[in-house]
Amino acid sequence: MQRPVKCKAAVALWLCSPSALSPSISRKFGMVYLVIGATQLTKPGHGAQLRRIKKLVRHEHYNRSDKSNDIALLQLSKPVDCNPYVQLACVADPALSLSGLQNCWVAGWGATAARSQSSSDVLQEAKVQLIDVQLCNSTGWYAGKIHTHNLCAGYPEGKIDTCQGDSGGPLMCQDENSDFFWIVGVTSWGRGCARAKRPGIYTSTLYFYDWILTHIGMETNENAS
């Protein structure tokens, strides 16, 4: 049975994100506030916490043109406090079998329609299915654009999908034998929104598990020395 990453203070200092961050965030990330534990931006509630970004770690081989290695880590200015609204993510190691995970969800603040120019004030969620990567990469679908470190999720007929503004949001699947959820992917890109044979494309956190632990561990060791 797989075990989630242990709840340590250092883990509560980090968030996973796509490398394709907004240019304004990339240039001035020290001036950006992260809202954690809110489900509505205009009314964050008492459980919400604000943090600044202390450090941005992009994958060293990220390619903007083909979205390969689209993953980054954000180190927070200080740890978040776990409460009913804020919980640590369970990151699975590469040994986790995705084939048996049936109850999968995505979440984000993005647009709720393909041509919408505005994000959502209320956090959205949707149930999705993991789609076989070979099928997703076949002719009539994404035709070779999918990388080995990507996951596909949505529905063959479309209709439910992530959209503009959802990048960096989680792809979460419930464990086969328990009630907790694994973070298996981070929203990366897609063609339009909710189109048939054009499901959302996600960066696999299982594939980058060692990369994540290496960079979190490096920072933890530096702070401890």
pLDDT by 10s per residue, the chain, length 225: 334 443 333 347 788 877 766 555 556 666 788 999 999 999 999 889 999 999 999 999 999 999 999 999 999 999 999 888 898 888 888 999 999 999 999 999 999 988 887 899 999 999 999 999 999 999 999 999 999 999 999 999 999 999 999 999 999 999 999 888 999 999 999 999 999 999 999 999 999 999 999 999 865 455 554
Per-residue pLDDT at 25: 55
Query: Which CATH fold topology does 90-204 show?
Result: Thrombin, subunit H (2.40.10)
Half-sphere exposure of 82 (CA within 13 A, CB side): 10
Per-residue pLDDT at 92: 82
Half-sphere exposure of 10 (CA within 13 A, CB side): 15
Per-residue pLDDT at 39: 95
Are 172 and 184 in contact by the 8 Å Cβ rule? The answer is yes
Per-residue pLDDT at 221: 52
Per-residue pLDDT at 2: 39
Residues 6+ apart with CB under 8 A from 81: 49
Q: What letter does residue 30 receive in the DSSP assignment?
A: G
Per-residue pLDDT at 31: 76
Range 11-84+208-224: architecture per CATH: Beta Barrel (2.40)
Residues carrying CATH 2.40.10.10, the chain: 11-84+208-224, 90-204
Output the pTM of the full model. 0.89
Per-residue pLDDT at 6: 39
Tokens of 85: 């609204």
